[in-house]
């Protein structure tokens, strides 16, 4: 597994710990965080490259309180540097 795919899996796990569902769908939209009822979702175009997917998830989870969530140093770096 490549470093990017490993980071992607780690960020998906962070989202899961925050009760955020990550969905990969066909879409022409940029993707990102949305809320449906009480459930937060991150929707990403499934044809996007792994670098883009990691950026979208990192940007989304950055908006939440991460103080009580274990995050690997590499994933934390990606989140902190997200736009």
Q: Yes or no: say if 32 and 59 are a contact pair by the CB < 8 Å rule.
A: yes
Look at residue 26 and tell me whether its pLDDT is greater than 90. Answer: yes
Look at residue 83 and tell me whether its pLDDT is greater than 90. Answer: no
Question: pLDDT tier at 4 (50, 70, 90 boundaries)?
Answer: confident
- pLDDT given for residue 29 in this prediction: 85
Place of tokens 């990969």: 24
Look at residue 73 and tell me whether its pLDDT is greater than 90. Answer: yes
Please state, in angstroms and rounded to a whole number, the distance separating the CA atoms of residues 64 and 34.
Answer: 13
- pLDDT given for residue 8 in this prediction: 97
Residue ranges per domain, the chain? 3-80
| Mean pLDDT, range 36-59, rounded to an integer | 96
Please state, in angstroms and rounded to a whole number, the distance separating the CA atoms of residues 78 and 72.
Answer: 10
Q: Is the pTM of this model over 0.85?
A: yes
């Amino acid at each position: 597994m490549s470093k990017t795919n490993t980071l992607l899996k780690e960020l998906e796990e962070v989202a899961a710990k925050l009760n955020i569902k990550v969905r990969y769908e066909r879409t022409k939209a940029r993707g990102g965080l949305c809320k449906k009822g009480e459930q937060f979702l991150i929707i990403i175009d499934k044809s996007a490259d792994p670098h883009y997917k990691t950026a979208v998830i990192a940007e989304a989870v950055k908006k939440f309180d991460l103080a009580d969530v274990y995050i690997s140093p590499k994933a934390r770096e990606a989140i902190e540097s997200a736009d």
